[in-house]
Amino acid sequence: MSENNTKTDYKIKSTQYSDQQEPTGSLTLFNNLIWGIDEVSRFCNYAKGTIYNLVAAGDIPYRKKRGRLWFIPSEVLKWLKGEL
């Protein structure tokens, strides 16, 4: 019997880091210190109308400043877990 010895070459990909900052559009949700209605809606997977109803009922933690609703991500996460 003859043995086939095959040689496999593996390429190693190196990770390169850049000192340039990422554009603001590519930041993830949790990099933001405060969320608007769109971010909360996307995170909770609820329609905007549902978020507005939760705010009106006082069920979700929020802040209102200059006529806009603002949400703290850590508070929203605790609320979803049932800790608030």
**pLDDT at residue 77, as a whole number:** 92
DSSP count for the chain of H helices, then E strands: 3, 2
Instruction: Tell me: pLDDT of 57 over 80.
Output: yes
**Which of 80, 38, 33 minimizes the C-alpha distance to 59?**
80
Alpha-carbon torsion (64, 51, 59, 75), positive or negative: negative
**What is the pTM assigned to this prediction?**
0.62
Which domains does the chain show, CATH number per domain? Answer: 31-81 (1.10.10)
**pLDDT at residue 5, as a whole number:** 61
Instruction: Tell me: pLDDT of 49 over 90.
Output: yes
**pLDDT at residue 7, as a whole number:** 61
